[in-house]
Amino acid sequence: MEITSILRKLQITELNNMQKSVLEQFKANQDFVLLSPTGSGKTLAFSLLVSKLIQSDKALKTQTLVVVPTRELALQIETVIKKVITGYKVLCVYGGHDTKIEKNALRDAPSIIIGTPGRIIYHLERNYITTEDVHTLVLDEFDKSLELGFQEQLQQIIDATPNIKQKILTSATDLTELPDFVTLHDVIKVDNLDSEENKPSIVYKKVIAPAQHKLKALFNLLCMLGDQKILIFCNHRDAVDHISELLDDRDLIHDIFHGGLEQRDRELSILKFRNNSNRILLTTDLAARGLDIPEIDVIIHYQLPSKEDAFIHRNGRTARMHAKGEVIVMLKPDDDFPYLPESTEELVIEEDLPLPNNTPYSTLFISAGKKDKVNKIDIVGYILKLKGLEKDDIGIIEVKDKEAYIAVKRKVATQIIKEGSNGKIKGNKIKFIRT
């Protein structure tokens, strides 16, 4: 395992103290529990452990199973593991993804499978996943999995993998006791929850508004915050949709993210938030974990979670990896919120402010991707052949199996759509569509 090259791929200079401690204390054949705050680099930490355990024997089929509570977390882990562990097939399986594509990919058994419980069981029951060589089981965000009611599914997965020699459990909050089926042997525990290094630098503020004026207060607050990147948490999908309608009426660009959306729409919302096509994302607790968007400036709790753990996980979306962040809690006059520091400053909302500036980028879509042998360099080269366009006009490009999403400066988006459509990239006819 060459740490230097891994760090270079991940664009970081060195491992943090938690990650170094994990590598130092880990021992093969001893179960391992890692507790560390959201945003502290747990995914990289356990990926490095998996890289130490994986065997180069080509006769072995699937060796490692990584079980996660959400699709978004699965996709994020896949990205990190593929950078850490090269030369081995890695596959991500999750609800909402095409089962035929996954079935075909499983014919040549991947060394590492990352997935959500329901989809892993779907493939296990049809014998698409072979488990005789699975020696390592990772339960990432295990507390959330148990909270969401996956106990029965997790037990089914553990029962289907009888040759496990190594369990690795990670979370940002501790559980007082684990269910009986998650038996740990000779366990090593690294508890980094109170580490000063990874404590987020968060400024807490509160907005007090009567229930009938809460939506108006939120809109004015967003205008006050201006061009910052903002994540707004609600407890229910209905609240997300209701607020979205208000923001639509006020012409405030935003996206929504919750479990009621199609998987493709969810992924697109996060993609546009990541590439600065959108700076405001309305969400449920679904976005409290597994989203690697390090530049979030402000978290707004439009509705408060019932449990402190949920509050902690939401706030972990900002102030990640030594950055600073701001958390704003919206309260009614009679609300008593015990998790908020007593010294929290009250924010006085200004009215009649202009809308925030439009976002710098717009996201375009083409129906060609990795399966069509199209990569980022191909797309950049194609666009730069258009008259008057420069490299700075192109932002983040994400290429998926059969499609690609390209962030471009808003001022050139229409030109690219008009002049760039109907050409070809590697023999694939291209049409640019604004998302």
Q: Is residue 352 part of a domain?
A: no
Query: By the 8 A CB rule, do 239 and 303 touch?
Result: yes
Dihedral, CA of residue 149, residue 178, residue 38 and residue 122, to nearest 10: -40
Which of 88, 78, 126 shows the shortest CA–CA distance to 104?
Answer: 126
Nearest residue to 202 (alpha-carbon basis) of 296, 120, 113: 296
Are 26 and 166 part of one and the same domain? yes
Residues 173, 88, single domain; the answer is yes
Reading the block at residue 177, the tokens are 């006791």
- Same domain (yes/no): 315, 333: yes
d(CA 22, CA 33): 10
- 149 and 30 in a common domain: yes
- C-alpha 218/C-alpha 232 separation (Å) is 10
The answer to the question of residue 354 being in a domain is no
Cα–Cα nearest to 301, from 318, 324, 276: 318
Which of 346, 377, 405 is at the close of a domain? 346
Could you say which DSSP state residue 347 is in?
P
Q: What's the CATH code of the domain at 275?
A: 3.40.50.300
Alpha helices of 226-307 — where are they, by DSSP H? 237-249, 263-274
Q: Which domain holds residue 426?
A: 361-434
Q: Please give the pLDDT value at position 291.
A: 63
Q: For CA atoms 212, 216, 222, 224, give the dihedral sign.
A: negative
Structure confidence at residue 148 (pLDDT): 64
Examine the domain organization and report whether 96 and 65 are in the same domain: yes
Separation CA 196–CA 372 (nearest Å): 47
Burial class from Cβ neighbours inside 10 Å (0-12, 13-18, 19+) for residue 419 reads middle
Same domain, 225 and 185: no
Q: In terms of C-beta density within 10 A (0-12 exposed, 13-18 middle, 19 or more buried), how is residue 114 classed?
A: buried
Cα 413 vs. chain centroid, distance in angstroms?
27
Among the listed residues 180, 146, 185, the one whose alpha carbon sits nearest the alpha carbon of residue 167: 185
State the pTM of this model: 0.69
Contact indicator for 288, 233 with CB cutoff of 8 Å:
yes
Helix, strand, coil shares of the chain, percent, nearest 5, are 35, 20, 45
Q: How many CA atoms lie within 13 A of 252 on its CB side?
A: 27
Tell which phi-psi region holds residue 28, choosing left (phi > 0), alpha (psi between -120 and 50) or beta. beta
Termini Cα distance of the chain = 40
HSE at residue 140, side-chain half, CA atoms within 13 A, is 29
Separation between Cα atoms, residue 244 and residue 255, nearest integer Å: 8
**Residues 328 and 321: beta-carbon distance below 8 Å:** no
Residue 351 included in any domain: no
Is 313 within a domain? yes
Tokens of 267: 């992924």
For residue 288, the model assigns a pLDDT of 65
Assess contact for 96 and 263: CB atoms under 8 A: yes
d(CA 179, CA 371): 42
Q: Are residues 187 and 218 in the same domain?
A: no
362 bridge partner residues: 408
Burial class (CB in 10 A: 0-12, 13-18, 19+), 391: exposed
Whether residues 251 and 138 share a domain: the answer is no
Domain membership of residue 353 (yes or no) is: no
Nearest to 400 by CA among 371, 430, 434: 371
Q: In this structure, is residue 356 part of a structural domain?
A: no
Out of 295, 321, 346, pick the residue that ends a domain: 346
Phi/psi for 310 (5° steps) reads: -65, -40
What is the model's pLDDT at position 46? Answer: 96
Partner residues linked to 346 by β-bridges = 206
pLDDT, block means (10 residues), the chain with 435 residues:
80 89 94 86 94 93 94 89 94 92 95 96 96 96 75 92 95 77 89 70 89 94 93 94 93 90 88 92 78 77 85 70 76 85 86 89 94 94 93 93 94 95 93 93
Residue 56, Cβ neighbours under 10 Å: how many? 8
CA 222 to chain centre: 23
Domain boundary residue, one of 132, 165, 191: 191
Number of domains in the chain: 3
Shared domain for 176 and 29, answered yes or no, is yes
Question: Is 196 within a domain?
Answer: no
The reply to whether 144 falls in a domain is: yes
